[in-house]
């Protein structure tokens, strides 16, 4: 009797197949072609790469070199040899601390304000013009102003995360609160439930899935923005690590950092995905 594969097993096999194809294409693309490459490489670029034309032409890392870098970096993730030589674990910890700090501040402001907007048309009409004005502004556009006023690079990065995390949480919270089923509110009004109890026992559970969606979007944007912000402010963090390794012309470490950014971003998104399922209303 043949065993029928489940949907998840089929998807897993397809993912492994795609990974094999990607690695094969990568390996073929990085095979050295010294004769053709040497003729096309600029001498100044070759000297900058610290070798001859053939070395410069084949400087993009192979899958094997990339695997070795991943192993070396993850074997000792928390070493600290000075300002410009820290382990990937330390760099990610700095980035995550900034992201979580700015995200928490945004949640403290956005969720109560979203409740007020969702519950009152007057508050909505008063605040909506400011939301529409500030929402399209790129978070990084605030960086010069933050550096000028706060005068601290790390705090400025946290402020930028706060700004970019604020709007999705605010809008989704207001939308979730405004769309709570009317009959539930009517029942709470009939039972003369006080406003605070109604907010926590009726409105919050009903709006929780929408609020979590906004928080999930905000976290994704925050993790994107922190990389660019740390490239600007320097010092520590995964964004600074990428920029520093590019200045060192280490493409292998740049690719490794990109890989780690993706892994951490996927983990953060998965956490909010699990939380969203926990609060989702089941018929």
- pTM (2 d.p.): 0.84
Phi then psi for residue 40, to 5 deg, are -105, -5
Residue tagged 């919050």 (tokens)? 204
Tell me the domain boundaries of the chain.
Answer: 88-279
Task: Report angle CA 273, 275, 278 to the nearest 5 degrees.
Answer: 115
Phi then psi for residue 161, to 5 deg, are -65, -40
Average pLDDT over residues 5-9: 84
Q: What is the domain class of 88-279 according to CATH?
A: mainly alpha
pLDDT at 223: 94
Integer Cα distance of 118 and 176 in angstroms: 7
Phi then psi for residue 77, to 5 deg, are -80, -15
Write the DSSP symbol of residue 201. Answer: I
Phi then psi for residue 116, to 5 deg, are -65, -40
Phi then psi for residue 80, to 5 deg, are -140, 100
The predicted-structure confidence for 82-138, as pLDDT tens digits, reads as follows 877 889 999 999 999 999 999 999 999 999 999 989 888 888 888 888 988 998 998
* In the predicted structure, residue 234 carries a pLDDT above the cut 70: yes
Contact 240, 253 (CB under 8 A): no
Contact 109, 174 (CB under 8 A): no
The predicted-structure confidence for 253-263, as pLDDT tens digits, reads as follows 999 999 999 99
Integer Cα distance of 106 and 112 in angstroms: 10
Buried b (16+ CB within 10 A) or exposed e, 17-40: eeeeeeeeeeeeebeeeeeeeeee
Two structure tokens written together for 234: 């320097």
Centre a 10 Å sphere on the Cβ of residue 147 and count the other Cβ atoms it contains: 18
* In the predicted structure, residue 47 carries a pLDDT above the cut 80: no
Q: Which residues pair with 80 in a beta bridge?
A: 86
Integer Cα distance of 130 and 127 in angstroms: 6
Model confidence band, residue 158 (pLDDT cutoffs 50, 70, 90): very high
pLDDT at 42: 59
């Amino acid at each position: 009797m043949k065993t029928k594969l489940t949907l998840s097993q089929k998807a897993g096999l397809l993912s492994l197949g795609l990974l094999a194809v990607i690695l094969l294409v990568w390996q073929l693309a990085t095979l050295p072609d010294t004769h053709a490459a040497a003729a096309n490489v600029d001498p100044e670029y070759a000297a900058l790469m610290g070798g001859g034309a053939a070395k410069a032409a084949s400087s993009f890392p192979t899958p094997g070199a990339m695997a070795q870098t991943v192993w070396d970096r993850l074997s000792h993730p928390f070493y600290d040899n000075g300002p410009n030589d820290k382990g990937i674990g330390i760099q990610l910890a700095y980035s995550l601390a900034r992201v979580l700090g700015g995200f928490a501040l945004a949640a403290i402001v956005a969720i109560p304000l979203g409740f007020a907007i969702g519950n009152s048309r007057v508050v909505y009409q008063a605040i909506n013009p400011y939301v529409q004005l500030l929402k399209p502004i790129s978070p990084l556009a605030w960086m010069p102003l933050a550096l000028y006023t706060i005068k601290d690079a790390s705090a400025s990065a946290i402020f930028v995360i706060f700004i970019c995390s604020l709007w999705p949480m605010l809008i989704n919270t207001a939308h979730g609160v405004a769309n709570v089923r009317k009959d539930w509110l009517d029942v709470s009004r009939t039972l003369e439930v006080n406003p605070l109890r109604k907010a926590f026992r009726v409105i919050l559970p009903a709006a929780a899935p929408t609020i979590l969606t906004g928080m999930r979007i905000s976290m994704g944007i925050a993790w994107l923005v922190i990389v660019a912000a740390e490239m600007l402010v320097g010092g520590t963090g995964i964004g600074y690590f990428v920029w520093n390794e590019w200045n060192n012309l280490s493409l292998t470490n740049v690719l490794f950092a990109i890989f780690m950014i993706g892994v951490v971003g996927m983990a953060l998104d998965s956490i909010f995905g699990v939380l969203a399922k926990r609060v989702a209303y089941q018929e």
